[in-house]
C-alpha cells in the first residue's frame, strides 16, 4: 500500500481487532463448555454482536484514513448480522424445543395448542 497510516489510526484499529478476536474466542469457549443446549445458544451472540461491530469499526477507521474520506460500507456487515442472526437463533431454538419435546425430555410445555396453529 502506498499511503502510510499514522500511529493514532493504528492504535484504535489494533485494539478493536484484538478485542474482537478475544470476544470471538470467548464465544467459542462458551460454545464448547456450556452444559445445556439452550445455554450453548448464548455465547455465539458475542461474535455476531461485539465481534462484528469491532471489526467493522476498525475497517471503517482504517479505510477512511487510507482514502482520506469517510468509507462506511463496512457497516453493512453488522446491520446484516443484526437482521439475520435473530432469525436463525429463533428457528434453532424452536427446532431444539420441538426435537427435545418429541424425544420426551423435560422441556416447557407448548404455549399455543394444536387447534390454534392448524387455523393458519
Mapping DSSP onto H, E and C, the string for 55-100 reads: HHHHHHHHHHHHCCCCCCHHHHHHHHHHHHHHHHHHHHHHHHHHHH
Minimum distance of other proteins from residue 28's CB (angstroms)? 4
Q: What is the DSSP letter of 16?
A: H
Minimum distance of other proteins from residue 115's CB (angstroms)? 19
C-beta separation of 75 from 56 below 8 A = yes
Nearer to other proteins by C-beta: 1 or 111?
A: 1
Per CB under 8 A, residues contacting other proteins are: 1, 5, 7, 10-11, 13-15, 17-18, 20-22, 24-25, 27-29, 31-32, 37, 40-41, 44, 47-48, 51-52, 55-56, 58-59, 62-63, 66, 73-74, 76-77, 80-81, 84-85, 87-88, 91-92, 94-96, 98-99
Amino acid at each position: 500500500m502506498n499511503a502510510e497510516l499514522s500511529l493514532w489510526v493504528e492504535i484504535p484499529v489494533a485494539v478493536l481487532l484484538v478485542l474482537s478476536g478475544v470476544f470471538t474466542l470467548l464465544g467459542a469457549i462458551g460454545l464448547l463448555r456450556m452444559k445445556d443446549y439452550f445455554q450453548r445458544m448464548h455465547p455465539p451472540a458475542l461474535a455476531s454482536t461485539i465481534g462484528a461491530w469491532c471489526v467493522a469499526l476498525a475497517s471503517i477507521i482504517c479505510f477512511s484514513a487510507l482514502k482520506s474520506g469517510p468509507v462506511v460500507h463496512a457497516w453493512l456487515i453488522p446491520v446484516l448480522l443484526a437482521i439475520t442472526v435473530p432469525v436463525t437463533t429463533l428457528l434453532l431454538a424452536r427446532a431444539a424445543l420441538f426435537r427435545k419435546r418429541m424425544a420426551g425430555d423435560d422441556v416447557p410445555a407448548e404455549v399455543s395448542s394444536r387447534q390454534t396453529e392448524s387455523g393458519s
